[in-house]
């Protein structure tokens, strides 16, 4: 199973995130735009995991949830990762000490439990478009800042279904 830990916005929050995606699309000549149902923020990517290890992953998520309460996450800026040629992965970001802390704590517990973790620094991001190319001289306009009310942490599975990526919730814990 291909797994990752994530934050998942509510339907209403997703609609606000889509305003950023629309502005980006207006400034672009090409891109593969994330469908609304796939909008998320990865906290830790786990990769291919044997199903018998899922129990340990649930326990790790439960431990981390005990270390923090619900919080608001403000997303208010574009960012991008370089791709092939001029193609970029564009995302929505914002500074979030809480999300960074959760990602860190997850990383520590994963390592202690023998899981491989990503060594790159955590960049809070919600992917808006992949393989995106802006029109020459175009700059995407910002939309209204989005506040995500984070009340749950998720363990998600990434599946390929008829050529599309689909994310299936495996487990979640509430923050109190
Ligand atoms: P696709 O690979 O079909 O474009 P995807 O990247 O969204 O879709 P996955 O590759 O399964 O799907 O990744 C699930 C989540 O984990 C995504 O948010 C992705 O950006 C993130 N992710 C994937 N690989 C890594 C990695 N090596 N390090 C950190 N995060 C990753
Ligand atoms: Mg991928």
Locate the ligand 1 atom nearest the alpha carbon of residue 40 and give its number: 18
| 8 Å CB contact between 24 and 140 | yes
| 8 Å CB contact between 38 and 161 | no
Locate the ligand 1 atom nearest the alpha carbon of residue 42 and give its number: 18
Residues 6+ apart with CB under 8 A from 156: 3, 4, 5, 6, 8, 40, 167, 168, 169, 170
Strands (E), 57-142: 71-75, 77-82, 88-93, 126-134
Where does the pLDDT of residue 75 fall: very low under 50, low under 70, confident under 90, or very high at 90 and above?
very high
Using the Cα atoms of residue 115, residue 120, residue 123 and residue 128 in order, give the sign of their dihedral. Answer: negative
Residues 6+ apart with CB under 8 A from 137: none
Where does the pLDDT of residue 2 fall: very low under 50, low under 70, confident under 90, or very high at 90 and above?
very high
* 151 Cα to the center of ligand 1, angstroms: 23
Q: State percent of the chain over pLDDT 90.
A: 100
Phi-psi region of 47 (alpha: psi -120 to 50; beta: other; left: phi over 0): left
| 8 Å CB contact between 109 and 56 | no
CA distances 105 to 52, 75, 101, 112, 158, Å, are 22, 22, 6, 11, 22
Compute the distance between CA of residue 45 and CA of residue 2 in angstroms, rounded to an integer.
9
Residues 33-50 have a mean pLDDT of: 98
Q: What is the pLDDT of residue 49?
A: 98
* 170 Cα to the center of ligand 2, angstroms: 18
Where does the pLDDT of residue 141 fall: very low under 50, low under 70, confident under 90, or very high at 90 and above?
very high
Q: What is the pLDDT of residue 111?
A: 98
Q: State percent of the chain over pLDDT 70.
A: 100
- For residue 81, the ligand closest to its alpha carbon is 1
Q: What are phi and psi of 10, to 5 degrees?
A: -70, 170
- For residue 37, the ligand closest to its alpha carbon is 1
| 8 Å CB contact between 148 and 175 | no
- For residue 4, the ligand closest to its alpha carbon is 1
Q: What is the pLDDT of residue 154?
A: 99
Q: What is the pLDDT of residue 125?
A: 98
Average pLDDT across the chain, whole number: 98
Residues 2-10 have a mean pLDDT of: 98
* 28 Cα to the center of ligand 1, angstroms: 22
Locate the ligand 1 atom nearest the alpha carbon of residue 158 and give its number: 11
Locate the ligand 1 atom nearest the alpha carbon of residue 34 and give its number: 7
User: Which residue from 1, 4, 8 has its CB within 8 A of the most atoms of ligand 1, so it is best to mutate?
Assistant: 4
Q: What is the pLDDT of residue 12?
A: 98
Residues 52-70 have a mean pLDDT of: 98
How, if at all, do strands 126-134 and 28-33 pair? antiparallel
* 176 Cα to the center of ligand 2, angstroms: 31
Residues 114-125 have a mean pLDDT of: 96
Q: What is the pLDDT of residue 155?
A: 98
């Amino acid at each position: 199973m291909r797994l990752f830990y994530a934050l998942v916005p509510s339907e209403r929050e997703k609609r606000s995130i889509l305003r950023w995606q629309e502005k980006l699309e207006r400034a672009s000549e090409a891109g593969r735009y994330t469908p609304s149902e796939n909008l998320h923020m990865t906290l830790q990517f786990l990769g291919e995991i044997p199903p018998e290890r899922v129990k340990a992953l649930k326990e790790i998520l439960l431990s981390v949830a005990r270390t923090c309460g619900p919080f608001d996450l403000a997303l208010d800026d574009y960012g991008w990762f370089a791709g092939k040629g001029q193609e970029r992965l564009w995302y929505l970001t914002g500074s979030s000490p809480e999300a960074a802390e959760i990602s860190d704590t997850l990383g520590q517990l994963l390592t202690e439990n023998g899981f491989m973790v990503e060594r790159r620094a955590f960049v809070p991001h919600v992917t808006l478009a992949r393989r995106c190319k802006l029109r020459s001289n175009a700059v995407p306009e910002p939309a209204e800042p989005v506040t995500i009310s984070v009340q749950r942490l998720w363990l998600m599975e990434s599946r390929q279904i008829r050529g599309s990526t689909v994310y299936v919730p495996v487990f979640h814990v509430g923050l109190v």
